[in-house]
């Protein structure tokens, strides 16, 4: 799972995305990759922790499975975002863009924005 965000970050938004992923994958082993935002670790920990019943009285311990990993792939997020150009026409094999003229007009505008950002 790749965790990357651009624009204003909201911890609630990220927490909701992680919770949805945990629910949809039934807490299967996942390797998370992040853009370096500081909040991912604690959000993942809260989402994946599981009760460990020991038979002792009191509340059971909460433990994060050892199979959960978080790897920071981008060391300098601000610099990395300047070097990424989004294109709505960069699609997976087998998926074709619609004939929407607005969609087809966007890549040149994104190109101008990108060239100004990297100057």
Tokens at 18, concatenated: 């992680």
Residue 51 within a domain: yes
Instruction: Write the burial class of residue 43 (CB in 10 Å: 0-12 exposed, 13-18 middle, 19+ buried).
Output: buried
Residue stretches of the chain with pLDDT short of 50 = none
Query: Residues 26, 57: one domain?
Result: yes
Residue 79 within a domain: no
Query: Residues 13, 62: one domain?
Result: yes
Rounded to the nearest 5 percent, the helix, strand and coil shares of the chain are: 40, 15, 45
Query: Residues 61, 98: one domain?
Result: no
Residue 6 within a domain: yes
Query: Residues 22, 50: one domain?
Result: yes
Looking at the whole model, is its pTM more than 0.75?
no
pLDDT digits (tens, 9 = 90+) for 26-50: 877 778 888 777 788 899 989 888 8
Quote the domain boundaries for residue 9. 2-74
CA dist 114 and 88 (Å) reads 14
CA dist 85 and 94 (Å) reads 22
In the chain, the number of structural domains is 2
What are the DSSP E strand ranges found in the chain?
2-3, 31-34, 50-52, 61-63, 69-72
Query: Residues 57, 12: one domain?
Result: yes
């Amino acid at each position: 799972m790749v965790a990357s965000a651009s624009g204003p970050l909201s911890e609630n938004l990220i927490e909701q995305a992680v919770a949805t992923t945990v629910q949809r994958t039934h807490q299967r082993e996942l390797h998370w990759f992040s853009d370096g935002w500081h909040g991912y670790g604690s959000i993942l920990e809260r989402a994946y922790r599981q009760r460990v019943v020991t038979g002792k009285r009191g509340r059971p311990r909460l433990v994060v499975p050892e199979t959960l990993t978080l790897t920071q792939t981008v060391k300098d997020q601000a610099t990395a975002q300047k070097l990424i150009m989004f294109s709505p026409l960069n699609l997976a094999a087998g998926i074709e863009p619609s004939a929407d003229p607005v969609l087809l007009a966007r890549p040149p505008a994104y190109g101008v924005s990108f060239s100004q950002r990297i100057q």
